[in-house]
Amino acid sequence: MYLFFLMYLLLTIHAKSKLVSRKTYIISMDMTFMPKAFTNHHNWYSSTIHSLKTTNHASSEYDESSPSLLYSYDQAIHGFSALLSQDELEALKKSPGFVLASEDRTFKFQTTTPEFLSLNPNTGLWLASNQGEGVIDTGIWPESKSFNDDGMTKNPKRWKGKCEEAQEFNASMCNKKLIGARSFGKGLIANKPGFNISVNSARDMVGHGTLTSSIVAGNYVKGAFFFGYASGTASGVAPRAKLAMYKVTGKSSTYESDVIAVIDQAITDGVDVISLSMVFLNESVPLEEDNLAKATFTVMEKGVLVSTVAGNRFQGDQRIRNGYPWVMIVTASTIDRWFAGTIALGNGEDIVGWSFFPGKDLLQNAILLHPKILRPCDKIRNVPNGIVVCRGEYTKLKSQAWSLLDSNVLAAIIIIDNPSTYVMEDMHFLPLPCILISSDNARVLKDYLKSAKLLIANMTFQQTMIEVKPAPVVASYALRGPSPHIPCVLKPDIMAPGSLILGAWPPNTPVGEIQGHKQKYQEFLVSYGTSLACPHATGVAALLKGAHPEWSPAAIKSAIMTTADHLDNTNNPIRDNGNGLKIAPPLARGSGHIRPNQALDPGLVYDATPQDHVNLLCSINFNSTQVLNFTGPNSYSCSSPSSDLNHPSFIVLLRERKRRASPIIQNFHRIVTNVGQDASTYKVMVTAPEGSTVVVSPEKLIFRKRNEKKSYNLTITYGGKAKSSFGTLVWVEENGNRKVRSPIVISPDVYKTSTGLC
């Protein structure tokens, strides 16, 4: 009996070892090969998958499953996603119309400000929007006050989207603000068969989607706050814009097959702009095989702007992701707000420091504990109950706070350099009462500790400081350029608020813990990340699309970039938190900090057609088959390859140079369109990058009518070493107020891709 059971077990294990292993693939197809017998592409793809079942049936002795079609794609790309074995994939490659197959990839999400952006409900750009914004994220909490439809107009007739009836979500939850809600998760289930989707609908059980949606298009909500911080009236950047949520299920990661399906559907539904706050976890896929690149290219062709993130630093990453030339890449900044607490010393002196403690606790007459030697906060052990004074370290601050919690201290005063600049950009609230003070303020505290015998202090929290200077500052967590995809085009494009941002939050999802065990819930959250910068820029793009429906995605992006601010609120150049508060280069800040009202009337725009972008692809050696795969059946030519895209920036990539090497000379050609007054004249002003000379011809552009185009040439001569430097080109309107600004960058070719064309 035992022997029989053992033999049966071994045979079972052997059989299972021969079970067919399947993966999810995204397949690109040439539509011209579709047989006339099929009425649509979906039927063709279904038949193709069915033929694989028949072909491989005999060889699949232990195959208990079968190949399956997940999605058909007709808009974003031409093809489908399917669950296939290696043998089935090889058979598929022999099918008529097959172009390319790539494995499914994973994304990761990258996670009030309208006043800081100078948006006003009575003037400027805020008056000019009724556009539809598609947000691709973790879903939405439709009951949030941010998605009420007070003051909203009827839905546009061209809108084809819908609210899907599903678990804990019915069509009545949509309104004139939230006009669409769908959920996509077939790719996730195919890649993770055992994954449990807690709520299989567009309802947000994570929080990220609700947060980003409220930032991009949340309606006005009076009395919004986060545990007493950032209180006031909350609103999104485009509070009168329509909103459609496309949920891609998955808290930690999301699959490309689902994202492509979302983009495919969003195009069909008729969105005007798309917000994509996620990045790939794996950047090893070549551009010609990048399905997201293809999908966003198609979106651009159809006149829809895609706004996406530069990405947050993690796992050693330094360079931006999603850096496609035809999308708007958004990096993150701080804003002119930070949160504070006050320490009232026993001698009557007050010290204001940084704090994000969510409790209302007022600590009165608490004993100050101060060792003779100021110790790191994570080295505090076995101290009496009181307020401990310790030394903090920015990179370890969160772990230090939890270490203090384990030490059972009552509260802490943490001494750290520049808490108002570094810490405020990316800290969630701390788990126990803490106030962070600078080394300068610590002198007042140290004097008190030396002078008094009975050391006591009071601590109060939930204070919001506004008009903080300097702001904006480039966030240290944001990834930098150039882009690994096509470094010839400067990325990021623009900077927008991403730190200490208030947004809506699902009330059943905890925002954190206090004292180590008490979960806290709120209807709003303050958070940080390029995920939150992206919807700010998306909202501005939607406002511009409403004001100028005839503008292309490139024109909208140009208007945002050329009117961006390169100065902070002290009227000095924007600084970089990620580089010791040195002046931020365009590879960190893009064109500068977004200014919505100025973007409404940019004067000149740099437009670019799909063919211009194809010329760029051809310049990096795309062959005709790869171009066809990228662009579908549309008629594009590779007859004029050029890396000199008509983009509102300039970048020269340098290899290491010998000491006496000849100067590098690079020419750029640009075309600008007058979208301002009929008759206008612009004169050029140039600040050359260090070690270079810049010549512009002509130096004056004279326009006689609106929509007239003029061209100019820019030549950079560089004779220095291969190091980064930057300058600026500005077209200044004579007898007017418009300034059209573009960054000029000289950068080492970190990807070793330069071929002399850029």
Active-site residues, by number, are: 137, 208, 531
- Of 18, 53, 115, the C-alpha closest to 466 is 115
Our CA dihedral for 564, 569, 570, 574, rounded to 10 degrees, sits at -40
CA distance 108 to 208: 11
List, in order, residues 6 or more apart from 256 with CB less than 8 Å away: 26, 104, 105, 106, 107, 187, 280, 291, 292
Assigned token pair, 105: 């990839």
CA distance 474 to 162: 39
Q: Three-state SS for 411?
A: strand
CA distance 398 to 613: 45
Q: 165-200: string of b/e by CB count within 10 Å (b at 16+)?
A: ebeebeeebbbebbbbbbbbbbbbbbbeeeeeeebb
Strand positions, DSSP E, 442-562: 456-466, 473-474, 494-497, 501-504, 512-514, 518-520, 524-527
Half-sphere exposure for 71 (CA within 13 Å, toward CB): 31
CA distances from 165 to 134, 182, 563 (A): 18, 9, 43
CA distances from 141 to 91, 178, 250 (A): 44, 10, 16
CA distance 730 to 24: 49
DSSP characters over 120-140: BTTBGGGGS---EEEEEES-B
Per DSSP bridges, beta strands 22-29 and 79-85 are antiparallel
Per DSSP bridges, beta strands 254-255 and 473-474 are unpaired
- Of 729, 715, 616, 711, the C-alpha closest to 673 is 711
Under 8 Å between Cβ of 108 and 279: yes
